Amino acid sequence: MDVAMRIGVDIGGTKVSCALVGENKTILSKVSFDTGGGRPYTDVLHDVANSVYSVLDQTGYRLDDVEAIGLGCPGILDQQKGEVIYSNNIAWENVPLVKTLQKYVPKEIYVDNDANCAALGEYLCGASQGTSSSITVTLGTGVGGGIILGGRIHSGFNSAANAIGHMVIVSGGMPCTCGRKGCWESYASITALVRMAEEMAEQFPDSLLAEVKKRSGQFNGKNIFDAARQNDPTALKLLDQYYYFVSEGIIDLINVFQPQMIVIGGGISSEGDYLLLPIIANVKKGVYCKQVPLPQITIAKLNNDAGIIGAAYLKGYQATAVSQGI
């Protein structure tokens, strides 16, 4: 038996990915399927079970060759019970993930928040490998994050830690989906960037940014950055605002945790230094203590595979003991 074999599952709002992860934390086979908005969780987990057997069939391994299975899922999860307490992204509440999946897959199964899994993946074999403390920030539809302290996922006493997108950075600001106003997510997500681009294009109809909207029909992270790279003053002004808002949240994280590294992930991270360097400059000016070394701020390396690899290795890296044996 090769005890290095593990299976990681990344459950998302639109897609579920499952992979067999082998030695050196390399993905040996992977399959994906549409989550299907509004489908019963039992149907989704039945498809997860089929995916587990599919990645094994593709490589010739058997379930007996797998040491453990890990699931990453958006929302608040109870790692001890193996349940989703609440996930607004996929409309799940009090879902018995482990109990249900073990009906089809009789193995040890571990669960955690998807952003925690991504942070663990980057820590194990990505950008933050070699550190003992790191925070991975994902900039996407919302703002997610996972925190690694002392080589373990930090989840809080109630498994609800790391909702970093819901720190308030603008008092009385934009309404957030969580019910508060001025959350970091409302200013640093791609959703927020698109909203600000719409406002700027309307304010400056003769700008290249406005022309991009006319040609493309809608904004996305890439075409906004493309306009800025062409030195459009309106797009540059927009990104200056966006960089400021992203930096404000990172400054708060540094002031509270002082991790060795901040890793920035999400689709927009593909912009590389064009995104990273202005953020670092803002953070240097804004951190509370400028007399101590600044944590390294860098771009994620594993992209969409971070959550899968992290999920596969939840066993042994969660902060509290989890009992998910069958």
The model's confidence at residue 36, banded by pLDDT at 50, 70 and 90, is confident
Supply the pLDDT for residue 321: 46
In contact, 303 and 27? CB cutoff 8 Å? no
The model's confidence at residue 304, banded by pLDDT at 50, 70 and 90, is confident
DSSP per-residue codes, 104-150: T--S-EEEEEHHHHHHHHHHHHSTTTT-SEEEEEEESSSEEEEEEET
DSSP per-residue codes, 225-274: HHHHHTT-HHHHHHHHHHHHHHHHHHHHHHHHH--SEEEEESGGGGGTHH
Selected residue with higher pLDDT from 276 and 3: 276
Instruction: Copy the structure tokens of residue 14.
Output: 């639109």
DSSP per-residue codes, 56-72: HHHHT--GGG--EEEEE
Per residue in 103-148, pLDDT tens? Answer: 999 999 999 999 999 999 999 999 999 999 999 999 988 898 999 9
Instruction: Copy the structure tokens of residue 93.
Output: 């509440």
The model's confidence at residue 14, banded by pLDDT at 50, 70 and 90, is confident
Distance, in Å, from the CA atom of 250 to the CA atom of 164, rounded to the nearest integer, reads: 10
Strand order in the sheet with 92-95: 76-78, 83-87, 92-95
Token match 């804004």: residue?
286
Q: State the average pLDDT over residues 263-268.
A: 92
Q: State the average pLDDT over residues 269-297.
A: 96
Per residue in 40-68, pLDDT tens? Answer: 999 999 999 999 999 999 999 999 999 99
Q: Whole-number mean pLDDT of the chain?
A: 93
In contact, 299 and 264? CB cutoff 8 Å? yes
The model's confidence at residue 155, banded by pLDDT at 50, 70 and 90, is confident
Please name every residue paired with 139 in a beta bridge, in sequence order, or none if there are none: 143
- CATH number for 6-121+305-312: choose from 1.20.1090.10, 3.40.50.80, 2.130.10.10, 3.30.420.40: 3.30.420.40
- If you compute the radius of gyration of the chain from its CA atoms, what whole number of angstroms results? 20
Per residue in 193-222, pLDDT tens? Answer: 999 999 999 999 999 999 999 999 999 999
Distance, in Å, from the CA atom of 309 to the CA atom of 314, rounded to the nearest integer, reads: 9
Q: Do domains 6-121+305-312 and 130-299 have the same CATH topology?
A: yes
Supply the pLDDT for residue 8: 97
> 56 burial class (0-12, 13-18, 19+ CB within 10 angstroms)?
buried
Distance, in Å, from the CA atom of 219 to the CA atom of 212, rounded to the nearest integer, reads: 8
Q: State the average pLDDT over residues 166-182.
A: 94
In contact, 52 and 94? CB cutoff 8 Å? no
Domain ranges of the chain: 6-121+305-312, 130-299
The model's confidence at residue 324, banded by pLDDT at 50, 70 and 90, is low
Supply the pLDDT for residue 50: 97
Selected residue with higher pLDDT from 143 and 323: 143
Name all contacts of 285-293 with Cβ < 8 Å and 24+ positions apart.
286/247, 286/248, 286/251, 287/251, 287/254, 287/255, 288/251, 288/255, 292/258
Predicted structure pTM score: 0.89
Supply the pLDDT for residue 141: 85
Supply the pLDDT for residue 267: 86
CA-nearest of 40, 65, 44 to 55 is 65
Q: In this model, does residue 241 exceed pLDDT 90?
A: yes
Distance, in Å, from the CA atom of 310 to the CA atom of 22, rounded to the nearest integer, reads: 13
Q: In this model, does residue 88 exceed pLDDT 80?
A: no
**Over pLDDT 70: what percentage of the chain?**
97
Q: What is the CATH number of domain 130-299?
A: 3.30.420.40
